[in-house]
Every structure is written in C-alpha cells, then in structure tokens.
Amino acid sequence: NYTEVLMQEMEGIAAVVAEFDCGDILFAEDHQQKEELWKLRRRVAEAVKANSVYKEEDTVVPRAELPALLKGVKDIGKKYGFHSVCYGHAGDGNLHVNIIRGELSEEQWNGTLKTGIREIFELVKQLGGTISGEHGIGLVQKSYMDVIFDDQHLQIMKQIKQVFDPSNILNRGKIFD
C-alpha cells in the first residue's frame, strides 16, 4: 500500500531529523491537517513581516548541504549579532534566509550586516550552491554577484545584455550599472 510505504519513509526521515534537535515534527493524517500545515507554512513570511523589518536573502544549495547551510547561517548570525528565520523548499535545496533587524543599530543594519550576508553567500558557494534559488538577481543581490561569478562570467553577461539591450532601457541598473 502506497500510504503505508509513505508513512514508513516519513517515520524514517523523522527519526533522522530528530537526532538534530529539530523541535516538533508534524504529520498530516487527513486532508484538514494537511491544509492546516500548509496554512502554517504560508504564514511564516507574514509572521516575519509582522515581527520586524527584515532582509530576505534567497539561496540554493544541493539538498544534502541544507543542514550545513542552516547551521552556517545561524553561526554567522551569532558572529554579527543578527537573528534569522529560515524556511524554503527542501526538495530543491532552496533556503530563504530572513534576517531580522530587531535591535540592530543603524550601523549594523546598513553596514556590518553586509559583511555577514557576504559570508552567507561565500558559504553557499563553498557548499556548491548559488545566490538565487527562485527570486532572481536584482537590486538585492547585485553587489554580491562577484561571490559566485568571476570577472570573465560577469563580462560575458554584460556583453549579452548589450546585444539584446543596446540602449540599456530594460531594467536599467538592476544588475549592471
């Protein structure tokens, strides 16, 4: 029976996850419980927004590296004094890192935090990932492109943009100045 196999696999996954002090593990046993769990997941972003000003960084790594990325993000947060709420899509290795402003000073929020974010992206690269899982690169990640792409890659991208947008009228300044 497919349902029994699925439940056995979920119990096996839960046993592994529980070894890493993950907190509560919830299983939906019927349609209503499934809807409630999805409602909780959809409301994470709303809860973050209601809590504080925040910055969301979009990352993606090979699925097996998600635990290392999450631990690294939390360690970097301790180093730079910020808290984060992380969630995403484990199936494709996507982790949304929501950095909470909370009690950070103006200098921390607009200054040293950038160094912390750069360290997160350097960790992402070290783990075989990249700085955009699904949101694309734009104003938020523009200044971190050099972490993932070397000068030659960036030059090729600029040349491609020049071919398709010689007047620089499409998304001017979003990725390249």
Give pLDDT tens digits for 57-116. Answer: 989 999 999 989 999 999 999 999 999 999 888 888 999 999 999 999 999 999 999 999
Q: Identify which has the larger pLDDT, 29 or 157.
A: 157
Where is pLDDT greater, at 135 or 49?
A: 49
Task: Tell me the per-residue pLDDT of 24-39, one tens digit each, with 9 for 90 and over.
Answer: 877 788 899 999 988 9
For residue 148, the SS3 value is helix
* Residues contacting 34, CB < 8 A, separation 6+: 28
Instruction: Tell me what the pLDDT averaged over the chain comes to.
Output: 90
How high is the pLDDT of residue 123?
Answer: 98
Share of the chain above pLDDT 90, in %: 58
CB 63 within 8 A of CB 92: yes
Question: Quick one: pLDDT at residue 68?
Answer: 94
pLDDT for the residue 111: 93
Q: Which residues contact 36 (CB under 8 A, 6 or more apart)?
A: 28
Model confidence at 7, in pLDDT bands (50, 70, 90)? confident
Kind of pairing between the strands at 83-89 and 94-100: antiparallel
With H, G, I as helix, E, B as strand and everything else as coil, classify residue 160. helix
For residue 94, report the phi and psi dihedrals to the nearest 5 degrees.
-90, 125
**Tokens of residue 92, six digits:** 């494709």
